[in-house]
Amino acid sequence: MNCLKTGLSFPFYNFIFLNILPMRLKIIFTLIIVTQIAACQTRDDSILSDTIIENPTPEIEQLVEISDDSDLDNLPTNAVYIKEQSLKGENTSPYGYVVRRPEGFGSDGLKYPILIYLHGVGSKGNSNTNPDDINKVDKDGAIRAIKLGVCNPKVAMPVFAPQSNTSWNANHVKSFINYLINTHPNAINTNRIYLSGFSMGAMGTWTYLDTFGYENNLIAAAVTMAGAKDECNVEALKLMPFWAFHGQKDGAVPVDKTIDLVDDFRAKYPSQVHQKLTLFTQDDFDGQYHRIDYGVYDRTSWDKNHTGDIFDMDVVNWMLQYKRND
């Protein structure tokens, strides 16, 4: 503290104060000293506050809230699902696709949430040149679970599975989403469009979210399985509820990619709580560490050994907690 420095020593001040000054001046002198010490302390505290005390990770406003579900009230809770398909070239989107939809979708006047599922590399194909290729996508993840009745969403909802013959292209995925909205304008609840993908499809999901950001991606929530991007702009994910799954012993796509992506997000946005990571710790799904999509959408898989965020609810119902307010 440098506020009271002079060229005179403290003993000299003490001698004058005790032996020479009259009482009235002693009182005045004492008040001056006390006032200067207090002012000096205040200035030093201010300097300390400005230069030492700082917040290295400022609190981020919690931007996503679990939605109300009043817009789901009139939807059927049980439905007969119908399979339909459109080959590449038969529609105006970049993809051929399979859909498993409730029988009333498009005719009952109700607006349904929809799930779009992006397949892995094993289901690639071109139904324009080989129509049988389209059958590959009916065997994957979410659409397979609907077909087998092992996925139990609280309301009926269509699952659309486009098919790509290359890696997923973010612009093409968005064109496909817009195609669905334009084709079913009175049947799709555009605040409840969900995206999910396995392996190459998980990478495609992250790429899509990274490319467009929450403001422009049309998606309310996302689920990824056994796939991630090497580089991802986590700022584009800050409003996006997501649940990432991976097998710890995945030999096809290293689990570290998913862990690093989620860790980067949580380091930047520590107050966000609608982003989850679950890692399966043993080989439980069809003898494979990679093919976890068979289990993630199967409600019988909740007891599988895992670490990270608890796998304790149907992932479709988890997604249905969220909706956009566009």
* 299 vs 201, residue with greater confidence: 201
**Structure letter (DSSP) for residue 288:** B
What gap in Å lies between CA 259 and CA 246, rounded to an integer?
9
Residue 243: strand pairing partners: 223, 276
User: What is this structure's pTM?
Assistant: 0.79
Sheet with 242-247, side-by-side order of all strands: 81-86, 96-102, 159-163, 112-118, 188-198, 221-225, 242-247, 275-280, 306-308
Average pLDDT over residues 151-178: 95
User: Contact, 198 vs 293, CB < 8 A?
Assistant: yes
The average pLDDT across 5-24 equals 47
Residue 158 token pair: 């269509």
Q: Are strands 96-102 and 159-163 parallel, antiparallel or unpaired?
A: antiparallel
User: Residue 165: which pLDDT band, with cuts at 50, 70 and 90?
Assistant: very high
Average pLDDT over residues 12-39: 49
Nearest to 326 by CA among 196, 212, 178, 214: 214
Instruction: Show the CA angle centred on residue 288, arms to residues 287 and 291, nearest 5°.
Output: 130
Which segment of 20-34, 140-154, 158-172, 231-245 scores lowest on mean pLDDT? 20-34
Q: Which one-letter DSSP state was computed for residue 285?
A: B
Q: How far apart are CA 238 and CA 269, in angstroms?
A: 7
Instruction: For residues 34 and 282, give the distance between their C-alpha atoms in angstroms, rounded to a whole number.
Output: 71
For residue 253, the one-letter residue type is V
Residue 119: pLDDT band by 50, 70, 90 thresholds? very high
